A = this chain, B = another copy of it.
């Protein structure tokens, strides 16, 4: 398993980017359902999902979004991460077979007063289609 990067605040530069792949499995979808108790049939019932125009059960958007935790906490900045805020726009349904997803974060703004940076995030499926985009503001706690 990937060890946490350890970028400090002064290492963070505009345009700096990190990316990684993440796998979504049926088991992860089932575990996410157990954790959240979100029993919505779109994620659970293939017939219902097809009736709504999807080709298969749809992966929970917030499960896809949960990899933003990994992006900040393991990759950029890694160990000294503290997520302040997250904005996510869901652009395209994700299916289990779309896995692995590629999660990309790029630094777009640095706030020295708050020891915080902003990163633009994108998540792609295995056909290189963008399924989510968003913005995270992340604090860097290396001095605490």
Q: Which residues of A contact B (CB under 8 A)?
A: 1-4, 22, 28, 31-32, 34-43, 51-53, 60-63, 65-70, 73-74, 78-79, 81-90, 141, 144
Cross-chain contact B67 with A36 (CB below 8 angstroms): yes
Query: Which chain B positions have C-beta within 8 A of A69?
Result: 32, 36, 38, 40, 60-63
Chosen A-B contacts, 12 in total, with CB atoms closer than 8 Å, are: A4-B41, A28-B35, A31-B35, A37-B74, A38-B74, A52-B141, A61-B69, A62-B86, A63-B66, A85-B88, A87-B87, A87-B88
Assembly stoichiometry (copies): 2
Other than the known A38-B74, A86-B87, what 5 A-B pairs have Cβ atoms closer than 8 Å? A2-B39, A3-B39, A4-B41, A32-B66, A61-B86
